[in-house]
Amino acid sequence: MALSSAHKDFTLAPRASGAVSWLETWFLSGLAIGLGYWLSPEDPLMVNGSFPWTIMAPLLLGMRYGFMRGLVSSVLLILALIAFHRYGEGLYPEMPASFIVGVLISGMLVGEFRDIWERRLERLDMANEYRQLRLDEFTRAHYILRISHDRLEQRVAGSDQSLRSSLVGLRNQLRRLSRGNDALAALADPVLSLLAQYGAFRAAGLYRVSDGSVVPEPLGMIGAMDPLNEHDLLVRMCLQRGELVSIREQLLERGEHRQHSRYQLCVPLIDTEDRILAVLAVEQMPFFSFNDRVFGLLAILAGHIADLILSDPQFLQLNDWDSQEFSQNLKRSLIDAQNHGLDASLFFLEVAESSHSEALLHLIEGSRRGLDLQRRVTNQRGNSCVLVLLPLTSAEGAQGYLFRLNTLINERFGMAQTLESLEVRVSAHDLGVGNGHDALRRFLYNECALNDQQVAI
């Protein structure tokens, strides 16, 4: 079973190493000059012909590798022209200025446009990865909510405790750990017990992953486990793919799985940033649990556990899951804005107490778009407020959000009403402009009158 996401690859052409690209630049430029001399010894660079075919070398190199290689190829053709002029015994008695300028402009222009489009595609690639990350988070949250109240949990786990409450309990244990403790080692037994509830393992072990390799010493075990074989086929495939892998059911039914692997199932504890924290290796589990439904539950649960353990300790001190999720996405948007130039905007809408304040808050919360995140809080001034995070939204797009919100207010409260007339205080912060964390903290804690238990940065 594969639980992976396909990311589009926005590349113009297969990439070559720097040395290979320079070698191609010299080779193609020399080949163009050599072919020209062989085909037309009296005009090797085809300057006087109907079309200077040697210009194809800088054009091709500029399209494939960009500005610098196109420029170098053009310079090589011009140097060849100078050499023919001086030592060619009558070749090119006069230097054709139009050919020199045309070759230089063609090579540089094509290379520059190629570089521009590559930068644009890289930004598209980063935006696509961000959307895929948010989709993975949503998928996990969706399946956690769907499966936590399912009959399979009651039948297999034999417990009234829900999946969400189990994760909350694990989060509370993590919050109680002092800083500097090895969270994975300290929570290995609770993590293994939680996973065993839904997989009904008879023999399984939890092993740390360090620098891409499994540490043979187990962090926790259920049943009698032999020493880990880190070169086992299933273990290696689990690390290489970063996903749950298992033996085929047909081999398990015939008892032939031992010929391929000692384990029946390997589950990676991998977070949304593809960091593998540990691997669960299962030697024995009931056959009725060996199905895609249980595998999907284990993979999603393992992902949530990895997200929890690898979370910033600052976020774990927040009082609820919504505050933690909002703070993590706000921090990620800030980092993306600083490191990758991805636009993001943050709005703070403070609603004064009035007869229509509750209806106004519901209208604001109902204006949420697909990628937007909202967090309803009460600030230190005692007013109800809504924090609105707009990922991948420029300052112009943020103004469009306010325009749309005012349009909804006109439809709901009358044409003469606006945010200002309804006593809604609007504060905005552009995450791509300013002084990073310090400016964002001043905005949240000073201007918005929030505290570090409501949102952490």
| CA nearest to 274, candidates 1, 5, 2 | 5
Q: Decide: helix, strand or coil at residue 418.
A: coil
Cross-strand bridge partners of residue 349: 386, 426
* Per-residue model confidence as pLDDT tens for the chain (457 residues): 344 444 445 454 555 556 777 787 788 877 887 777 787 777 777 777 777 877 888 888 888 888 888 888 888 888 877 777 777 666 777 777 777 788 888 888 888 888 888 888 888 888 888 898 888 888 888 877 777 656 555 554 444 455 666 777 777 777 777 665 678 888 888 889 888 888 888 899 999 998 888 998 999 999 888 888 888 888 999 999 888 988 876 566 555 566 678 888 899 998 867 889 999 999 888 877 778 888 888 887 888 788 778 765 555 555 566 677 787 778 767 877 776 677 888 999 999 888 888 888 889 888 887 668 888 989 999 899 999 988 878 888 888 889 999 898 988 888 788 888 888 899 998 887 656 788 888 888 888 988 877 887 7
Asked if 246 and 295 count as a contact pair (C-beta separation under 8 A), the reply is yes
Torsion of CA 162, 165, 169, 174, to 10 degrees: 110
The CA-to-CA distance between both ends of the chain, in Å, stands at: 37
Query: The whole model's pTM is what?
Result: 0.48
In DSSP terms, 385 is beta-bridged to 350, 377
Please give the full DSSP string across 100-120, using - where no structure is assigned.
HHHHHHHHHHHHHHHHHHHHH
Q: Which domains does the chain have, with CATH numbers?
A: 1-147 (no CATH), 155-311 (3.30.450.40), 315-447 (3.30.70.2880)
